[in-house]
Structure 1
Amino acid sequence: MHSTARRPSLSDAISGIDRSAPARGTAPRRDTGRAVTSRAVWLGAAGLAATLVIWWVATHAMTAPGSLGRQFAPDSAFASLPSLFSEDHLAEHALVSLRRVGTGLGLALLVGVPLGILIGRVQSLEHTLSPTFQFLRMVSPLSWMPLAVMSFGIGDRAIYFLLGFAALWPVLMSTAAGVAQIDRRWLRLGESLTATRRELLLHIILPAIAGPLLNGIRLAIGILWIVLVPAEMLGVSAGLGYLILDTRDRLAYSELTAVILVIGALGFALDGIARLLARALLRSDR
């Protein structure tokens, strides 16, 4: 009887390699890592507390009680937060802004990841498109506001265009850099196993670029959050940027300062989530 041996697939070959085995001569340092992380958290919290104290001292020392400048003090801002949540529906405005940021990031991923993979794989294409992309990357996304309004009108579509354009470049560049840094021996292994392009993409390229891509997403979130507020001043009736304009027009400067604090807190939280995802992925690859 003749037995036919099954050709090993690319996933079988990759799964057979033990990536989790520790290097020789190295000992686990989990406890040390936890101590460093705990210390960093406490130092960061102390830094934030010191910043609030300095802010409070500066505003109270430079302004008189009941003056306009006193409304920019941190205690005035925190005191106005309950009214913002109840009367101005701050949570709803924040959700609208988060939805716009998510849509802009999704558009950037939809365009930037495939294009970045293509540029990273085809060197002639990189040489052809790199000068154009570097030129466009240096143009402020807010410079496109008149064109966005003329093309898409006032509303969400113009904001999506501006946010997607702003987030595209860190996503595209990090993806292309991640593809360029892939060990060619992995690609040759896949080709020796007659892997299809889809198998190379799923089992080698995407896992290899996950770390750089998450770092690019983190950079994109920071840019998105900066561009969001002025972009939401394009005649929309909801969002944190709209709320900034609304509180300014009502001369409610304590509420305006509170909105600024909320914008900073949400941006900080989004960056922290992206950072945790990147760290978790790097740990899983060890």
Structure 2
Amino acid sequence: MTTSADTLSPATAVPAPPDPHRRRPAIWAAWRAAVVLLVVLLWALLADVIFAGNAVLSRMGPISAAGALAGMLVEDVTLAAVTASLGRLLSGLLIATVIGVPLGLLFGSRALVEYATAPVVQFLRMTSPLAWAPLVIVLLGSDDAPVITLIALAALWPIVLGVSSGTRALDPGAALVARSLGATRWEVIRSTVIPGLAGPLRTALRVALGIAWVVLVPAEMFGVSNGLGYAVLNARDNLDYERLAATMLLIGAIGFLLDRILGGGAQRGHSAIGF
């Protein structure tokens, strides 16, 4: 029996709605540039006009910050600070991933385990990583180890929850089909589980990266003598507010680039009904 769907020709098929990102790329880019320009103008208005009489804020305008940043970028100490911070960030994220992915798989595949551990997980998740700083410093001393530990604590739970949610969303039928075709356990994992978890894990890593980058700066104010967080503290102590603003700009720019690396800039989703 032939259905009406079978008789539809390509000419009569309902076309997919046009993608406004493909249709108007120049307009979208112009809007983004306009927003950035507006923020810079507001920044200049606040620093150079509204708070022009303030001894601190008047020295942190966009022109002063850009000039200080240009000078910082040619200094070896800036490269050393960025390298140290990125090394701590990646180390903490690696530890969080190694621990968080197996935990997420366990919680997502074993409902009883997730239910039983939920109070403890939520308690630990909602405790600020910086609240652990005094204890971590007492246990691990100063230098890199406490900072890496705090970053790992910050990044752990987004990865656990993201992988757990992705595991629960996997289609069990795909694994059954693979087993019926004679696939081994590893082949089932490679063909169904890993592809199915790629998207959730990427999103979880992006969230974890954002939280870890935010925690990194205050964490580097405890017992270390280099890094971007230490640079912020050092600029403040030396009353070098131009350099303080420039360091803040540098931190934001690096964080933006890191997010782009994980695909944050490629997320162009929009509602089909225009909201």
TM-score in terms of structure 1 length: 0.82
Aligned 8 A contact 2:81 2:227 in 1: yes
Distance between the aligned counterparts of 2:244 and 2:34, measured in 1? 25
- Asked whether 1:192 is paired with 2:180, we answer yes
Alignment match, 1:76:
64
Equivalent residue for 1:109, pick from 83, 89, 97: 97
Equivalent residue for 2:109, pick from 121, 132, 140: 121
**Structure 1 residue 186, shift from structure 2 partner:** 0.6
Unaligned runs of 5+ in 1: 1-23, 281-286
Alignment match, 1:284:
none
Aligned partner letter, 2:129: P
Aligned partner letter, 1:195: A
Size of the aligned set, in residue pairs, is 257
Alignment match, 1:231:
219
- Asked whether 1:248 is paired with 2:223, we answer no
Give the share of equivalent positions with the same residue, in percent. Answer: 37
- Asked whether 1:138 is paired with 2:122, we answer no
Aligned partner letter, 2:188: L
Moved more, 238-247 or 31-40: 31-40
**Structure 1 residue 237, shift from structure 2 partner:** 1.4
Alignment match, 1:283:
none
**Structure 1 residue 67, shift from structure 2 partner:** 4.2
| Cα-to-partner distance string for 1:135-180 (whole Å, 9 max, x where unaligned) | 1100001011011111111111111111011001111101010010
Distance between the aligned counterparts of 1:120 and 1:136, measured in 2? 18
Unaligned runs of 5+ in 2: 1-11, 269-275
| Cα-to-partner distance string for 1:178-225 (whole Å, 9 max, x where unaligned) | 010011111211232343332222221111011111111111111011
Aligned residue for 2:248, secondary structure, equals helix
Alignment match, 2:42:
54
Equivalent residue for 1:213, pick from 201, 205, 214: 201
Aligned 8 A contact 1:215 1:278 in 2: no
Distance between the aligned counterparts of 1:103 and 1:278, measured in 2? 25
TM-score in terms of structure 2 length: 0.85
**Structure 1 residue 57, shift from structure 2 partner:** 1.4
Distance between the aligned counterparts of 1:123 and 1:65, measured in 2? 60
Aligned residue for 2:249, secondary structure, equals helix
Measured on the aligned residues, the alpha-carbon RMSD in Å equals: 2.4
- Asked whether 1:258 is paired with 2:249, we answer no
Distance between the aligned counterparts of 1:86 and 1:222, measured in 2? 27
Aligned partner letter, 2:114: E
Aligned 8 A contact 2:206 2:264 in 1: no
